[in-house]
Amino acid sequence: MEQKLRQEAKALLEQNKVDWIIGFEPGSLKFTATPLITRDKNDTERLIINPFIVNNLADFLTGIKGRVGIVAKGCDSRSIVSLIQDNKVAREDIVILAVPCLGLIDLAKIERLVDKDRDELDDITREEDKVIIKVDGQKKEFAINQTLFDHCIACELPTPQEYDILLGEPRPPAPELEVSGQNIEKLKETTPGERWEFWQNEFSRCIRCYACRNACPACFCQRCFVEETEPQWVMPVPRWQDNLIFQVVRNIHVAGRCTDCGECERVCPVNIPLRSLTREMYDIVDELFQFKSGMDKEAQPLMTHYEQEEAEDLFR
Amino acid sequence: MTQQSEWEPKLLGFLCRWCSYAGADLAGTSRKKYPANIRAIKVPCSSRVDSLFIIKALRLGFDGVLVSGCHPGDCHYLTGNYRARRRIAITKKFLEYLGVEPERIQASWVSASEGGKFAEVVTEVTGDLKKVGPNQLFAERKLAKEN
Ligand code: SF4
Ligand code: SF4
Ligand code: FES
């Protein structure tokens, strides 16, 4: 897959079909990959595909001028489709290099499984349904789902639907939605007061670094409401009240565009379970309006469209 | 304690200028009685109301928020209220999931000729808010426990 990607990417640049290639190269730390954005065809030699290509590259599309060849896993492709729906990128300006995704490995889960820091591990290899970890000269085997990000276990679209070049055998979706909803189900069994207290606690840790917003491909506003000063909607000091308002409003603003890709949760430095918000919003939107973000590029964006009769039970 | 018995909910109303605001006016001029708990803000259309306004109102201490616009099909801008409907629906559901009592977020369609309906809506919503009690959502934790 990697070889094919390098060839295709190189050819795209050589034939002047794109101005840029966005993909992944090895990161500076073990078991990491880092985004590679280049116009130089020689750089394509560094492109990789492995279980650590965690970033949602669609995030870079709105900041780049020109035609782009972009490496996309299923989730990334949905974010791209969503950007197309919103006229944020033109379909003809991008070439989607589709990666049929086996799921991404969550290093935090691995660390917990073997009770070691990632730096102490010698190797992690993924096979079809298991992951083998080499540590202290020993080999340890785990079922694949023990090691993947929750959002990968619940992935509804491992292989992009929308693409130009397919880099491998398509993989059928086999989402285990329960895994994703566990936390949410538990929360729903509690009283409103308990739930509010739960989020209050979580957001008292938020340092308002805005990593969640910046990593989110659906958050593309030039000026975010949190930076407005007339009026000042939220205080810049990270108090839980304003942190919570920021995140709630962010979730509402990206409703119908958030694909529950899990980037916000992954990048949050204080481990706030943000997917327990994004997943719920994703489900609310689906339940009320039968709308799944980023699935169909011809579909009207959620918030610009309506049906004559819907959600009327909420109105007096 | 006396505070408890005398407590009156504060309701913030976002009323679209073409229908609900005129409906509120009519309620006044036709001397319909409704609770004085609502503070009304005139908005150009129900679709002007960003969810941010609703949450900010709760943050500022309002006990509930009412968004009211023209009936479906009657929006002065044709489709504004349909869009507002989607936005309010997800806001209400999402906030409910977070732990905000659903009674605090209310919406209605009131036309310019429905002074009576406006009075009814405000009466009902005020009643709902009395049941759920004061909004302590954004109070400091200690406060929330003491009460
Ligand atoms: S990434 Fe986490 S800490 Fe940073 S602003 Fe978002 S929720 Fe807060
Ligand atoms: S809000 Fe979070 S889960 Fe949703 S698209 Fe943005 S980064 Fe992904
Ligand atoms: S003008 Fe009344 S809802 Fe749009």
Counting every residue, how long is chain B? Answer: 147
CA distances (Å), A114 to each of A104, A109, A120, A150, in order? 18, 9, 10, 18
Using a CB-CB cut-off of 8 Å, the residues of chain A touching B59 are: 241, 245
Give the mean pLDDT of B4-26: 93
Query: Are A205 and A127 in the same domain?
Result: no
Give the mean pLDDT of A206-210: 97
Please determine, for residue A123, whether its predicted confidence score (pLDDT) is greater than 90. Answer: yes
B55 touches chain A (CB under 8 A): yes
Task: Strand B38-43: give its sheet, edge to edge.
Answer: B38-43, B11-16, B64-69, B105-109
For residues A178 and A297, the model is more confident at A297
Mean pLDDT value across chain B:
93
Domain boundaries, chain B: 11-146
Which structural domain range is residue A153 located in?
A: 2-104+148-311
Residue B37, min C-alpha distance to chain A (Å): 18
Containing B58, the helix (H) or strand (E) segment is helix B51-59
Give the 3-state secondary structure of A30-42. CCCEEEEEECCHH
Whether B19 and B111 have beta carbons less than 8 Å apart is answered as yes
Query: Are A23 and A76 in the same domain?
Result: yes
The per-residue pLDDT for B143 is: 43
CB atoms within 10 A of CB B51: 22
A249, B51: Cβ pair inside 8 Å?
yes
Query: Are A54 and A68 in the same domain?
Result: yes
The per-residue pLDDT for B3 is: 56
Among A118, A147, A176, the domain-final residue is A147
Query: Are A210 and A80 in the same domain?
Result: yes
Residue A170 lies in a domain: yes
Whether A79 and A58 have beta carbons less than 8 Å apart is answered as yes
Query: Are A54 and A182 in the same domain?
Result: yes
Buried b (16+ CB within 10 A) or exposed e, B84-113: bbbbbbbbbbbbbbbbbbebbbbbbbbbbe
Whether A118 and A110 have beta carbons less than 8 Å apart is answered as yes
Please determine, for residue B4, whether its predicted confidence score (pLDDT) is greater than 70. Answer: no
Please determine, for residue B144, whether its predicted confidence score (pLDDT) is greater than 50. Answer: no
Query: Are A111 and A209 in the same domain?
Result: no
Nearest-CB residue to B72 (from A194, A233, A308): A308
Q: With pLDDT > 90 as the criterion, what percentage of chain B qualifies? A: 90
Q: What is the CATH number of domain B11-146?
A: 3.40.50
Query: pLDDT tens for residues A39-95?
Result: 999 999 999 999 999 999 999 999 999 999 999 999 999 999 999 999 999 999 999
Residue A316 lies in a domain: no
Residue A226 lies in a domain: yes
Give the mean pLDDT of A169-175: 87
Give the relative orientation of helices B80-98 and B51-59 as an angle to the nearest 10 degrees. Answer: 40
Picking from B45, B90, B95, B118 by the largest number of A CB atoms within 10 A of its own CB, the best residue to mutate is: B90
Whether A235 and A195 have beta carbons less than 8 Å apart is answered as no
Q: Whose CA is nearest to atom 1 of ligand 2?
A: A258
